[in-house]
Amino acid sequence: MKPYLAAALQMTSVADLSKNLAQAEELIDLATRRGAELVTLPENFSFLGDEDAKFKQAAAICEASEKFLKTMAQRYRITLLGGGYPVPSPDGRTYNTALLVDANGEELLRYEKVHLFDVNLPDGNTYRESTTVTSGSSIPAVYSSERLGKLGISVCYDVRFPELYRQLSKGGAEVLAVPAAFTAFTGKDHWQILLQARAIENTCYMLAPAQTGFHNARRQSHGHAMVIDPWGIILDDAGVQVGMAIAEIRPARLEQVRRQMPSLQHRVFG
């Protein structure tokens, strides 16, 4: 792995597929103009609105999302991660899927979100992801690239479950991606600290593309897409506006932190 720029994009997706993909393409274009070689899109990048509406359009959203990811990766000659779009599942629901593709538009990794967001929040909002989403059943493989290092992927609510990231780091991961649409209510207290904890305990870079702002009258996302280094230092934070966090992934920094704090070598329980 050589040093390279990675971008975590920040969007305000709505219940309009075409509008969302246009916004995503504009941000991808900006990121590549800044030199990004690895670009990551947030959860629900292609559709974020009423869950019933998304479920009814799942097949169309899936087809458009996958075509978009492969086309953009080829057009801009980048490795591209699209997190959290619906893929119809055998039980009549959908998988919340993240897809990593290379500059030839070839699929590298596919991950079906395991941890589903079924939560009653004190702000009055209730989320029941499992109503329309089937839980994935396996931890994704770690993708190894001479250019980009070893990448592990996850989706949003997964960040609360450190055992998943421990498995990815045991598989050799050096960069961990967490495409998210974190709620404004939980994000203000937990988003940053969870990302820093996953970076520190696994001595990995974290790429955290995010949703921000209001998606409809009730749903609001926290924003603050981030790139975090293996020591837990925030290298860039997108704030609450549409845009991106972008920073350099440096193998020398990764090696330095792992040498100074060799906690992965000191594991006792797994």
**Which are the catalytic amino acids?**
43, 113, 156
Beta pairing class for 175-177 and 205-208 = parallel
Strand partners, 113: none
Distance CA 71, CA 61 (A): 15
Helix (H) or strand (E) holding 110: strand 107-112
Provide the token pair at 244. 């991106």
- Give every CB contact of residue 93 below 8 A, 6+ residues apart in sequence: 55, 131, 132, 133, 134
Distance CA 59, CA 170 (A): 35
